Every structure is written in C-alpha cells, then in structure tokens.
C-alpha cells in the first residue's frame, strides 16, 4: 500500500467516476483501475460497487475512506509545512543583534515578522559582539548582526552583507554646544560627560590619530554601557554627549566638530561556515538589504 494509491482511492471516492477521477489524478482510466484493484487486494476487501456507469463505496470502503482521507490530508499538510519551513514562513529564527544594530533593527524586524510572517517564531538576543559570537558557535543562534571591528576574524565565521554607518558626537537639540551654532573643539566637548557603547580598538586608533592621546576612549568616555538605547535616552534627558552611530537616534543632533571625525561603524551578518542556514534567515537578508539602502 502506498500513499499514491490512497490518493487515487480518495480521488475516486470524491469523483464517483473512474473517468473523472483519472483526469483529477492525471492517469489513464486503466492505470487508475489497476491502482484501485491492487489496493483492494492488499486491504482484503472491495472498496467500490459498480452501479451502471457510476460507482459507490461499499461499507468496507466507507470505513477505509475515513482513515485514508486523514492520511492523505496529513501528508499534504506535512508537505506544505516542509515547503513553508524551507521558504522561512514557519518554524524558528534565532538572531542576535549587537548594540547599534539592536537599537536600529529590533523593532522593525519584529514588526515586519508580525505583519508578514505571523507563524514564524522569532527570538532576538541583544548582547555585545563577543557574547553573540559565542552563542553562534554554540548554535544557540542562527545568525548575528554585529560590530565587525570588534570581532576577531576566524575560519568558522562567515561574514556577509557588511555595511558601514556614519558615527560621531551627538547631543540633544537644546544642548549648549548645539546652541552655539558653530563648530566646536574636542576640548569643548570633553567639558561634558560622554557616553558610549564599548568601542573597538580600530575606532580608538581613529580618535587618537585625529585628536591626539587625549581622545583615547578609555579616558574620554566617562559613561560606558552595552545598550545603545539606554545611552540615547541619557543624551535626550541631559547634557551628556553621545559617541555612537548617527542613525540610532534621529532626534539627536550631530555636533559639528573641528577637525571633523568622519568615523564609521562597520557591521555585518555573521553565520557559521559550512553550517546549514536557517530558511527564515532569507527574510532577514532581504530586509537588511532594504534597511541598508534606506
């Protein structure tokens, strides 16, 4: 007995005619007849009685039909579920976001999934780059979007869709330095508390090369936090200067510093090399391309 034979049986019961059923399952009538006869032999009883040109289920056939319909239905559901999982429409997606990507993409990603893929289970983890890379290696995440300058390159990590975002000193519109209406010096900026997420060694070198040893983040930054949204809120409510990616807070003002910093943050999507990618990650890739071009 095969699933194909059961499909033929259900189709014949629904159509009530060999001619119509054969068309429905794309078989010749003799081929369909052979399939049904073989099924009857295996089950040990007649499934249909002939009534002239039409057929009717026997009592035995009616009982078998209930079970066969469930089996065929379950098989179709399984097939559809497999297709949806392959397309990323259902199943699970576990993605990590480091600080700046988390501040920018957590809400848009969850909103998009809720609106377009409501059956997909999405888990977003927020942490620093090192923690997320460890979770990825332990296969507790399917992918992570992290600060690439804070990640040590390794053979087991595959980086795709890297992108850069402008970064600089930011403050609330009412900040005294913003109100000056002119370029400000680093000395003027350092008269105020400064907040930042952990900065990579590369960013530290850029700052020191541009402004001298006084700009070493270990000394210049007085408020350190792994969570970008927290320091953004801090800058909104006080005269704290924020050093971060510009795009994390559209309502803050980028300070016009002389000489200009012209720094960027570099981010990318990281997965494990030679590891089967989660089907739903395709959706994240598509959205990341849209957000990156916005």
The pLDDT, as a whole number, for residue 89 is 63
Mean pLDDT of the chain: 88
**How many residues can be counted in the chain?**
294
Which tens digits make up the pLDDT trace of 3-21?
889 889 889 888 888 888 8
Which tens digits make up the pLDDT trace of 205-250?
989 999 999 999 999 999 999 889 999 999 999 999 999 998 888 8
DSSP state, 198? P
DSSP string spanning 82-109?
Answer: HHHHHHTSSEEEEEEE-HHHHHHHHHHH
Q: Does domain 165-265 have CATH number 3.40.50.700?
A: no
Enter the tokens of residue 134: 């460890």
State the average pLDDT over residues 102-123: 91
State the average pLDDT over residues 56-78: 83
Is the pTM above the cut of 0.75?
Answer: no
Percent above pLDDT 70 for the chain: 94
Other beta carbons less than 10 A from residue 75's beta carbon? 13
The maximal CA–CA distance of the chain, rounded, in angstroms, is: 101
Give the distance from CA 289 to its chain's centroid.
12
- Tell me if residue 49 falls in helix, strand or coil: strand
Which listed CATH number (3.40.190.10, 3.20.20.10, 3.40.50.620, 3.40.50.300) goes with 91-164+267-293? Answer: 3.40.190.10
Question: Where along the chain do the CATH 3.40.190.10 domains lie?
Answer: 91-164+267-293
The CATH number that domain 3-87 falls under is 1.10.10.10
Question: Where along the chain do the CATH 1.10.10.10 domains lie?
Answer: 3-87
Terminal Cα distance for the chain, rounded: 56
Output the CA angle 131-134-139, nearest 5 degrees: 125
pLDDT band at 293 (very low <50, low <70, confident <90, very high): low
C-beta of residue 239 within 8 angstroms of C-beta of residue 170: no
């Amino acid at each position: 007995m095969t699933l194909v034979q059961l499909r033929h049986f259900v189709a014949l019961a629904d159509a009530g005619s060999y001619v119509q059923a054969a068309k429905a399952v794309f078989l010749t009538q003799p081929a369909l007849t052979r399939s049904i006869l073989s099924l009857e032999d295996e089950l040990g009883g007649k499934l249909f009685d002939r009534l002239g040109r039409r057929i009717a289920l026997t009592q035995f056939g009616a009982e078998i039909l209930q079970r066969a319909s469930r089996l065929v239905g379950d098989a179709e559901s399984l097939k559809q579920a497999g297709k949806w999982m392959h397309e990323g429409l259902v199943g699970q997606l576990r993605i990590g976001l480091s600080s700046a990507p988390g501040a920018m993409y957590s809400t848009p990603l969850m909103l998009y999934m809720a609106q377009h893929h409501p059956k997909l289970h999405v888990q977003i983890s927020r942490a620093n780059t090192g923690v997320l890379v460890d979770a990825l290696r332990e296969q507790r995440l399917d992918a992570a979007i992290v600060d690439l300058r804070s990640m040590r390159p390794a053979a087991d990590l595959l980086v795709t869709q890297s992108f850069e975002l402008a970064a600089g000193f930011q403050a609330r519109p009412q900040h005294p330095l913003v109100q000056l209406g002119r370029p400000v010096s680093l000395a003027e900026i350092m008269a105020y508390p400064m907040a930042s997420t952990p900065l990579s060694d590369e960013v530290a070198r850029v700052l020191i090369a541009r402004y001298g040893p006084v700009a070493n983040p270990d000394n210049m930054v007085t408020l350190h936090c792994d969570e970008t949204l927290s320091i953004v809120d801090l800058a909104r409510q006080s005269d704290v200067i924020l050093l971060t990616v510009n795009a994390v807070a559209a309502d803050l003002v980028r300070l016009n510093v002389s000489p200009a910093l012209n720094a960027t943050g570099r981010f990318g999507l990281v997965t494990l090399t030679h590891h089967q990618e989660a089907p739903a990650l395709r959706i994240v890739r598509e959205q990341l391309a849209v957000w990156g071009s916005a």
